[in-house]
Each structure stands twice: as structure tokens, then as C-alpha cells.
Structure 1
Amino acid sequence: MHESPMINVGGIDFDLSIIIALIVSCAVVFILVKLATRNLSVENPGKLQNFMEWVVEFVQGLISSTMDYKKGKPFLSLGLTLIMFIFVSNMLGLPFGLVFDYTSVEKATAFGQPLTSVVDGLAKGSHGVEVAWWKSPTADAGAAMGLALIVFILVHYLGMVRNTKSYFKHYFKPFFFFFPINLIEQFSKLLTHGMRLFGNIFAGEVLIAVLLKMSGVWYGAIASVVGLIVWQGFSIFVGSIQAFVFTILAMVYISQSLETEEDH
């Protein structure tokens, strides 16, 4: 696999490829929503408006399947943001890749800072270090777990603020000594929520990188082209499913945190 363009600022390592991809994802989602809602029309809606209406109805259906819609309506914006942002992020690494081969430390800089991944690689005796500047942000464990952590914090905040009695009481069900198990369950939800997204997208990009490396010989090039076409199509399906799964799990966790004894 290629190295990431890492720089160290104030003792903290930053992956520039992830930062760039996150900014692009936010920009793409913002532009899509802006264009879709720019000229709203009831009689003659445009294609983007129809698409956005379909997305809204789809997310409304997700919320309704996990909780009473009156209770879940305030989370419609959250669901829309999650599913659109994650879908766009999952797709970013599919169209192309930007990989540069660095052979000297002097050229391996960004924003006046040396690329630590290149410096370390060359220090180990490598003749060159390949750095990937473009990939899906969700193919990074830190970005995927960051999204899961945002949902995790929101879920428990809502439980403590809006459903205080039932929220704390459920940690001791069905018996008091189940508290450690229920506590572990909450943190396992955080781990599986983020790692499921990361694992699926990362695996897809690893396979794409493997297929690209096969193009060194003519028969490998033919096989890699066919493999890339097939895998790109499958990756779109996987990326869509993972955006759906992440969003509906977020709604399920929110529903559970707001669930009262009267709801049973």
C-alpha cells in the first residue's frame, strides 16, 4: 500500500489526504444541496429537486422504521447529512488516485513542513516512497471512528438530557450486576459502528490498488482493466449500502436512548 502524506504540527500528525478529502466531501454535499434547493418549484421541479425529495423521503422512512416519526422528526437533518456525506466520501476514492513517488527529502514538503512518512521511509533505506494524495476519507480508521464518535456522544447526551430516568435505569437491567456488561455493550456499539464503515471502504481501496499494480505487463493490464470495471461497479453498491447502514444504526441508537418504559 502507498504511504499517506503526513505532516507533524505541534507534535500532532495530520494526514493531508484525509483533510483534503473531507473538505471536498463537505463542498460536494453543500453544492448538491444548494443546487437542488435553488429554484424550488411545485409544478415543474427539476431533476436535482426530485432527487433531493427522494433522499428526504428515504431518510424519513429510515427514521419511521426505528421510532415514532413525531419523536424522530428533529433528527431528519442529521440523517440527511450523514447519508449524503458518507455516500460522497465513500465514492471519492473510486474515480482516480493521485500517487507521487518521492526520492528526496527536499521535495517531500507541504505547507513548509516535511512529509514525515517520506522522511521515515527514505531513512530506512528506501530508494523512493510512493505517497497517495487522494482517497476516500472513510477508508481511514480515524475519520470513520470520528463520525461514529460524534453519533455516540449525541446518543448519550440525548439519553441523559431527554430521557434521564430510563437512560440510567437501563444500565442495570435485567439485574443490577449486569451493569458492566451493559457498559461494555455501549462501547462495542461505538467500535462496530465506525470499524464496519472503515473496513468495507478500506478493503475496496486496497483491492483497487492491487489491481492497478497488475498493469505492469500486458496480460496484467487487461486483467486489471476488467477487474477495475467490475470492482468499481461493486464498490458503488458497497459504498451506498455502508452509507445506509451507518445512518440507520445512528437512528436505532438514538431511538434506544430515547426509549421509555411506556414504549415497551
Structure 2
Amino acid sequence: MHISPMIEVGGLDFDLSIILMLIVTCTIVFVLARLATRNLSVENPGKLQNFMEWLVEFVQGMMSSTMDLKKGKPFLGLGLTLILFIFVGNMLGLPFGIVTEYHDVNKATFFGHQLVNVVEEIHKVEAANPGKEVEVGVTWWKSPTADASVSMGLAGLIFVLVHFLGLTRNTKGYLKHYLQPFAVFLPINLIEQFSKLLTHGMRLFGNIFAGEVLIAQLVKLGSTGIIGGIASIPLLMVWQGFSIFVGSIQAFVFVMLTFLYISQVIDTHEEH
């Protein structure tokens, strides 16, 4: 696997590939939503409008399986945004990748900022292989959700939102459930909440990251020779098709769990 381009600004490290891919993902989602709602028509809806109407109904169906639609109505926009953002993000790393090679620490820069981890990797490789030409690959294009910081960031936002809603909309029921079935279960219930945060984000990250690792290995196989190139083509096609399925399922699961967690804190259930 190649490394990501990192720069240091104000003592903080920034992953340029993640920033790039987040901008690309947000732009695609915004343009898609804008085009789908630009010329709304009841009598002659366009294909994008039909798609967006179907997606709204699909997200409403997900919501209705976890909570009352009247209570869930304010979260419809959240669900639509999440499922579009995660699906688009999951798909970006499938069709192609952008990788640059660095051989000299003096050229490992980005608009005057040194790519700190690239420089470290070059020095490490030079120390391990003195006298040999150094080549460090840097990935600029990949699925943003294949990075743990993005997936956990999304899960963290939902975690904060869920508990904020619990404290503000169902304070008594929300606080009470930490002591159920008995007060002694408080530590276990607290651990459960943080485990939800971890599994919510890591499930998305793990599936997308694993898919991109295998794609990278198949591409590497294709560069080993004629036999490897021939063998890698059908394998790559099959795996990319399967990755589209996995990416779609992971977007669905993330949003479904979001609605489930919200419903658990805004509804009062004695067994909760």
C-alpha cells in the first residue's frame, strides 16, 4: 500500500488526500442534489428527479422501520445526506487511483509545505537500502471512507447528535435507561454506548479499506507479467462489482443504525 500525503500546519498534521476526497465527495453530492431539484415537475419529472423521489421514499422506509415517521421527519434530510455522501465516498476509490512517486526529499513538497511522512519514509528506505534508488508511492485519490478518521468522524457526529437529542428531547427516559435493569449496570451501559460509536465507524472503515487493499493487490498482480495481467482483469472486474455491492450495503447499514440509535433515545421504552 502507498502512503498518504501529509503536511504540518500550526503543529497539526493534515492528510491532503482526505481533504481532496472530502471536497470531491461533497461537490458530487451537492451537484447531484442540485440537478435533481433544479426543474421539478409533476407531469414530466426527469430521471434525476425520479431517482431523488425514489431515494426519499427509500430513506423514509428505513426510518419507518425504526421510529414513528412523525418523530423521524426532522431527520429525513440527515438520512438523505448521509446515504448520498457515504455511497459516493465509497465508490470514488473503485474506478481508478492517482499515485505519484517521490525519489528526492527536496521534491516532496506541496505548495511550499514539506510532505512530512514522505520525507520520513524516504529517509527510512535510504537507511535500509544504502546506495539504492528510493521510490515512495503517494496516494492522492481514494475512497474517503477508507480512512479511519473519516469513518470515525462520521460516527462521532452521530454519537454526539444522538446523546444531545436524548438529553434534550427525552431527558428522564434517556438518563433512566443507564440504570436499567439495575443501577449496578451503569458501567456496562456506558461501555455499550462507546462500543456503538466504535462499531458504527469501524464497520464502515473496515469494509471499504479492505476492498481497496484487495484492488491494489490485484492491480499489482497485473504488473507482474503477461500471465498476471491476464489473470488480474477478470478478478478485478468481479471484485469491483462486489465492492459496489458492499459499498451500497455499508451506506445502508450506517444510515439504518443512525436512525436506530436516534429512535432509542427520543422514544421512551420501559425495556430500553
Return the TM-score normalized by structure 2: 0.95
Secondary structure, aligned partner of 2:65: helix
Cα shift readout 1:76-98 (whole Å, capped 9, x = no counterpart):
00000000000000000001001
Aligned to 1:206: 213
What is the alpha-carbon distance in structure 2 between the residues aligned to residue 53 and residue 261 of structure 1?
33
Aligned to 2:7: 7
Q: CA deviation at 1:261?
A: 3.8
Q: Are 2:133 and 1:121 aligned?
A: no
What is the alpha-carbon distance in structure 1 between the residues aligned to residue 106 and residue 16 of structure 2?
18
Q: CA deviation at 1:124?
A: 1.1
What is the alpha-carbon distance in structure 1 between the residues aligned to residue 120 and residue 203 of structure 2?
30
What is the alpha-carbon distance in structure 2 between the residues aligned to residue 201 and residue 46 of structure 1?
32
Once the two structures are superposed, the pairs formed by residues 104-143 of structure 1 within 5 Å of their partners are 104-126=104-126, 127-143=134-150
Aligned to 1:241: 249
Q: CA deviation at 1:223?
A: 1.2
What is the alpha-carbon distance in structure 1 between the residues aligned to residue 92 and residue 257 of structure 2?
23
Residue 200 of structure 2, aligned match among 193, 217, 221: 193
Secondary structure, aligned partner of 1:63: helix
Cα shift readout 1:105-142 (whole Å, capped 9, x = no counterpart):
12111131111121001111341110011100000000
Runs of 4 or more, structure 1, over 6 Å off, are: none
What is the alpha-carbon distance in structure 1 between the residues aligned to residue 65 and residue 85 of structure 2?
21
Range with bigger deviation, 244-253 or 218-227: 218-227
AA aligned to 2:242 is F
Aligned to 1:29: 29
What is the alpha-carbon distance in structure 1 between the residues aligned to residue 220 and residue 88 of structure 2?
26
Aligned to 1:220: 228
Secondary structure, aligned partner of 1:37: helix
What is the alpha-carbon distance in structure 2 between the residues aligned to residue 213 and residue 91 of structure 1?
20
Return the TM-score normalized by structure 1: 0.98
AA aligned to 1:16 is L
Secondary structure, aligned partner of 1:100: strand
Secondary structure, aligned partner of 1:14: strand
Aligned to 1:257: 265
What is the alpha-carbon distance in structure 2 between the residues aligned to residue 62 and residue 261 of structure 1?
20
AA aligned to 2:93 is G
What is the alpha-carbon distance in structure 1 between the residues aligned to residue 60 and residue 50 of structure 2?
15
Unaligned runs of 5+ in 1: none
RMSD of the TM alignment (CA)?
1.1
Question: Identity across aligned pairs (percent)?
Answer: 70
What is the alpha-carbon distance in structure 2 between the residues aligned to residue 206 and residue 263 of structure 1?
42
Q: CA deviation at 1:225?
A: 1.2
Q: CA deviation at 1:263?
A: 9.4
Q: CA deviation at 1:262?
A: 7.2
Secondary structure, aligned partner of 1:7: strand
Count of residue correspondences: 264
Once the two structures are superposed, the pairs formed by residues 78-157 of structure 1 within 5 Å of their partners are 78-126=78-126, 127-157=134-164
What is the alpha-carbon distance in structure 1 between the residues aligned to residue 123 and residue 13 of structure 2?
18
AA aligned to 1:150 is L
What is the alpha-carbon distance in structure 1 between the residues aligned to residue 154 and residue 9 of structure 2?
23
What is the alpha-carbon distance in structure 1 between the residues aligned to residue 61 and residue 55 of structure 2?
10
Q: Are 2:68 and 1:68 aligned?
A: yes
Secondary structure, aligned partner of 1:125: helix
Aligned to 2:170: 163
Aligned to 2:239: 231
Cα shift readout 1:31-60 (whole Å, capped 9, x = no counterpart):
000000000000000000000000000000
Unaligned runs of 5+ in 2: 127-133
Cα shift readout 1:213-249 (whole Å, capped 9, x = no counterpart):
1122111011111111111100000000000000000
